[in-house]
Amino acid sequence: MYKSRKRFLWVAFILFFLIQFYQPKRNVENTISEKVDFLFYTNAPDEIQYLINISCYDCHSNNTLYPWYSNIQPFRILMDMHIKNGKKNLNFSDWGNYSKRKRETKINRIIKEINSNRMPLESYILMHKDADINTIQKKRIVDWLQTL
């Protein structure tokens, strides 16, 4: 009994060690296209830029600010899954390439997601305290979005 548990721990440790070598390409483009990026495209005021950058852009743009634990697996795999899914639904770095129709729909959807507190994700806020924007800040974003 004791022996098999010891072996299990060894296997788990070796797997944990090996998976650290899996470090796929990061979601970092460095350049921001001023023609296409949402905040440039919409000429967003500074406050809105700050709020959206800090609470949305990690998963909804081509530039993620990775936290230190992104170097450790399996956190990185989970993070990449979130980013992939987030960008599929809405990529602010690709905003200017969206059709007019798509932009209008997305704005409608963004407002609903914020108002219903589905976004930013709770699991994201847990690890990113500064992304935990309050009701007043959310209202500022929504009010601004409605002027677009």
99 binds other proteins (CB under 8 A): yes
Of the two residues 20 and 108, which places its CB atom closer to other proteins in the complex?
Answer: 108
Shortest Å, Cβ 111 to other proteins: 10
Of the two residues 32 and 107, which places its CB atom closer to other proteins in the complex?
Answer: 107
Number of residues that bind other proteins (CB under 8 A): 10
User: Exactly one of 6, 84, 102, 139 binds other proteins (CB under 8 A); which one?
Assistant: 102
109 binds other proteins (CB under 8 A): yes
Residue with tokens 């609903």: 112
Distance CA 65, CA 47 (A): 19
- Point out which residues pair with 28 in neighbouring strands: 63
As to burial, measured by CB atoms within 10 angstroms (0-12 exposed, 13-18 middle, 19+ buried), residue 33 is middle
Residue 83: name the closest of 57, 117, 105 by CA: 57
Residue 26: name the closest of 69, 60, 92, 76 by CA: 76
Tokens read off for 46: 């500074």
Of the two residues 113 and 132, which places its CB atom closer to other proteins in the complex?
Answer: 113
139 binds other proteins (CB under 8 A): no
Shortest Å, Cβ 145 to other proteins: 15
User: Exactly one of 89, 97, 123, 146 binds other proteins (CB under 8 A); which one?
Assistant: 89
Q: Any residues with CB less than 8 A from the CB of 104 and at least 6 apart, and which? A: none
Residue with tokens 């990061």: 26
123 binds other proteins (CB under 8 A): no
Q: Which residues bind other proteins (CB under 8 A)?
A: 89, 99, 101-102, 105, 108-109, 112, 116, 118
